[in-house]
A and B are shown apart, each in its own frame.
Chain A
Amino acid sequence: MDVTALDVIDSFATRTLRDVAHMIRLRGAETVIVGIQPEVAFSMVKLGLTLEGVATSLDLEEGLAYLNRKGNGSGYEVRTHRR
């Protein structure tokens, strides 16, 4: 999930992200949240928000690389097409 465009991640948004990641985990898949902006990260920490157990990466490329590393051996590859 790419949240680069979000200028605020409040407790409601955090709970939504956590819930979606949890549902995805129950379906046997993996979630990576990418693109949390530095100011947003600062506000989240001050507020006390955590994305417990949900993987995060700096940006989309790193997030996909992370998933590919995890997926190695299971025979699938994650790709993206960007203009």
Chain B
Amino acid sequence: MRSALIADEVRVSIDCDADIVSARQKGRQLASQCGFPSTDLAVVATAISELARNIVRYAVRGEVILRLVDDNGKRGIEVVAADDGPGIPDIGLAMQDGYSTSGGLGLGLPGTRRLMDEFEIASSFGKGTTVTVRRWKR
């Protein structure tokens, strides 16, 4: 599925903890421009934080792309977290609550799916991972 892009996209390159904060601030700003209520701003910022943290932890560097999108009059924010890191060998396992290869809580990916309305993940072992999430304005 492809939604129309409303405004220019915001790209944030991610390679350290400070970039995670910057990505979620920019996401919050963009979602706020779109008129999301404050609860949703926290939800979007938390999702961005999880995805950007995964980039730093597993792929070392990558990019977060933020877009306001429109799907037949329904407005929302799209977040793409892309890296060319090691990839995820078993996406099924990675989507399970409590599964982590880094000693984390193992809630990042499954939790992000619960936070957002749409969640897509594409990963090829050795080539990288792209996670795309969307949250629609109610």
Q: Is the interface of B mostly helix, strand, loop or mixed?
A: helix
If A7-B45, A43-B43, A43-B115 touch, whether A12 touches B104 (CB-CB below 8 Å) is: yes
Kindly specify which of A45-53, A62-70, A75-83 makes contact with the partner chain.
Answer: A45-53
B42 and A8: CB pair below 8 A?
Answer: yes
Contact of B39 among A11, A39, A44 (CB under 8 A): A39
In residues 1-31 of chain A, which contact B (Cβ within 8 Å)? 7-12, 14-15
Given contacts A12-B104, A48-B114, contact A43 B46 (CB under 8 A): yes
The total of Cβ contacts below 8 Å across the A-B interface reads 63
With an 8 A cutoff between CB atoms, is A60 at the interface?
no
B49 neighbours in A (Cβ, 8 Å): 8, 10, 12
Chain A residues with a Cβ closer than 8 Å to the other chain, count: 19
Interchain CB contact under 8 A, A46 and B43: yes
Which A residues are within 8 Å of any B CB, using their own CB? 7-12, 14-15, 37-40, 42-44, 46-49
> B residues touching A (Cβ–Cβ < 8 Å)?
24, 28, 38-39, 41-43, 45-46, 49-50, 53, 97, 104-105, 107-108, 110-112, 114-115
The list of the 7 closest CB pairs from A to B, nearest first, reads: A39-B42, A47-B111, A10-B49, A43-B46, A11-B105, A11-B107, A43-B42
